[in-house]
Structure formats: structure tokens, C-alpha cells
Amino acid sequence: MATFTSPRTIETKPSQSASGLLRHALNTPLASVYLVLASAGLLIGLGVLMVASASSVLAEVTFGDPYYFVKRQVVFLVLGAGGAWVIAKLSPRTLRAFAWPMLIGSILMLCLTFTPLGVTLNGNRNWVQFGTPLLRFQPSELAKLAIVVWGADNLTRKDKLLGRWRELVPYAAMVGVIVLLVMLQHDLGTAIVIGSMLVLILFLAGIPLRLLGILLAAVSAAGLGLVVASPMRMARIFGFLNPGADTDGINQQPLRA
């Protein structure tokens, strides 16, 4: 006897087959790991692509190799991946032991940018170089990691007290010192990123939304004020809003890209 298959069954099977793998991956205990790896891999790939796009001509003219900066980027990616693997193996107790040294070390490294070890590139004095250019790096990148690790340790200890303003002052003050040092380097972009990190970390820590809203408004107002106060930053914004203007100046690089 012939069996009857409903049209609804025939229509839903292809859809289930197409989404089954994704649904299974998101339903496993490792779903968060998959999401982190996928997003990190996408950002890394796009980052390498942007480095290649922005540096190939300069690398060819300066070093005779259009992929000079891309190769350097890949080397540091490998080192970073190794460091991430090591950190992932550490216990929370060990990470907490590194919190204060990382914070103090990052502040000291930021201060070194104002010494003869500091290097100014494109108007921003946000690099430190120890002899060879291979040992040149941005201390603000270490500071970003430090405020995450130290912030997690500091805020976890005050888990039940985060509804009080005064309990947030030490963390906000430390981040404020780092933002001030970054601003003295004339690096507004990094300062805005660190300010955004502060707001996000406090949100994840579970502080009351009213306090978070006040902090977000303060960070946004400070960022907007710093942008308006700089003619160069305003020129970049107007250039973005009007891509056809100043084609030999502020819009030269994006138009050629």
C-alpha cells in the first residue's frame, strides 16, 4: 500500500537540514566557545586584509616587499594566539594575581611614551620602541587587557555593593588615568574604545541601569567635546559625510582605497 506524505513534511525537511548543523552547534555546552572563535577569526581575517590594503604600497616603496607589514602582522598574530592559549589554561586565582601588576605595568608603559623611548607616528605619540622597530608596540593595547583583568577582579570583590557610587570610583578612576594618558598621546580613537570598554564591563558586572546611563552620558559627552575641540577630527567627520570634498587631502586615502 502506498504511503502518503503531507506537503508540509516535504517543505520543512530541507529547512531542517540546512539549519540542523547550526542549531546543534548552538545547543552544545561549547556554543559560547564556537561563537568566540568565529567572531575572533572574522575580526582577525578582516584585520589582516585591512593591513594589506593600507600598507602594500608603502611596504613596496620602503622595503621592496608589498607584504612586509602583513608578515609582521601574522607573526604577532601567532604570538598572540600562543599567549591566548596560555592565558586560557590559567586558573581564575592565577589571573587575579596578575591584575595589579598588569595595571601598574600598563600605566608605566604609557608614561614611557613621553620619554625618549616614545615614538610619534601620524601625530600620535602612542608607541614605545626598544631599539629595533621589531620591538615597537603600543602600551595602550596592554592597558586594554589590564582594565579587563583588573576590573574583573575589583568588581567581583564588590559584587553585592555595586549599587553604590563610591564602590565604582576606584575602577573608574584607574580607567580615567589610562584614558588621560592616552589623550595626552593625542589618540582619541583608543580613548573612546577604552571608555566604551568601561561602560560595557560595568554593564556586564550588573551595576544598576540608572548609574550606567549616567556614566554612558558622561563618556559620550566627553568624547563629543573632544571631537568638536579638534579641527582635524572635525575635518575627518566632514570628510566622511562628504566623500567628494577635499579629494587631495582628508579624503585621498579612502577614495583611492
Q: What pLDDT, on the 0 to 100 scale, is given for residue 16? A: 52
181 versus 228: the higher-pLDDT residue is 181
pTM assigned to the model: 0.71
Q: What is the mean pLDDT of residues 23-30?
A: 77
Is residue 42 predicted with pLDDT exceeding 90?
yes
What gap in Å lies between CA 220 and CA 225, rounded to an integer?
Answer: 9
Consecutive H or E run containing 209:
helix 209-228
Q: How far is CA 46 from the centre of its chain?
A: 14
What is the mean predicted confidence (pLDDT) over 80-103?
Answer: 89
Q: Which helix (H) or strand (E) holds 14?
A: helix 7-27
Where is 124: in which H helix or E strand?
strand 124-129
Q: Is the pLDDT of residue 9 over 60?
A: no
Model confidence at 178, in pLDDT bands (50, 70, 90)?
A: very high
**Would you place residue 132 in the very low, low, confident or very high pLDDT band (cuts 50, 70, 90)?**
confident
d(C-alpha 126, C-alpha 130), whole Å: 14
Between residues 58 and 135, the one the model is more confident about: 58
CA–CA gap between residue 101 and residue 97 (Å, rounded): 8
Please state, for a pLDDT cut of 70, what percent of the chain lies above it.
91
Asked if residue 173 lies in contact with residue 107, where contact means CB atoms within 8 angstroms, the answer is: no
What's the CA gap between 201 and 112, in Å, rounded? 27
Higher pLDDT, 33 or 146: 146
